[in-house]
Amino acid sequence: MTYEWIKALHIISVIAWMAGMLYLPRLFVYHANAKKGSELSETLKIMERRLLRLIINPAMILSFVFGIWMLVLNPDLLKQGFMHVKLALVVLMMGAHGMLARYRRYFAADKNRHTAKFYRILNEVPTLLMIGIVIMIIVRPQW
């Protein structure tokens, strides 16, 4: 019963993390088109900071806590190839998370150098990684 509760909390945390990871680049699209110093730009700075600090970062941390806890309870998962691929994709997702945090700091300092189109494309990275992660966990391909 404990494992199922941990798994449920892991899934809830991952959903919150992914929601933020998909929404933050969308805010960047709008911010890239906003005039520096405008009311819109300043509002987006607040929204981006709060999204990252109050939702995305805590959700990522909780995802790791519950994910590691599940692996401790079921270490045989680490012997399976699909889990290695899944964990590699999670590492890439952490890299995407770090990039988004860096771009948020650039916007906060009015030093953004990218276009709205760049952020539209960047928005697809977490989506593609999420698809790969879900496939690894649900399908569990055997190699």
The residue extents of the domains of the chain are 2-138
In angstroms, rounded to a whole number, what is the distance separating the alpha carbons of residues 107 and 93?
A: 21
pLDDT digits (tens, 9 = 90+) for 72-129: 999 999 999 999 999 999 999 999 999 999 999 999 999 999 999 999 999 999 999 9
Do 102 and 21 contact (CB within 8 A), yes or no? Answer: no
| Torsion sign (Cα): 82, 87, 90, 92 | negative
Residue 1 has what pLDDT? 81
Report the half-sphere exposure of 108 (CA within 13 A, side-chain side): 12
Report pLDDT digits (tens) over 111-127: 999 999 999 999 999 99
User: Is the alpha carbon torsion for 33, 37, 40, 43 positive or negative?
Assistant: positive
Note the pLDDT of residue 143. 77
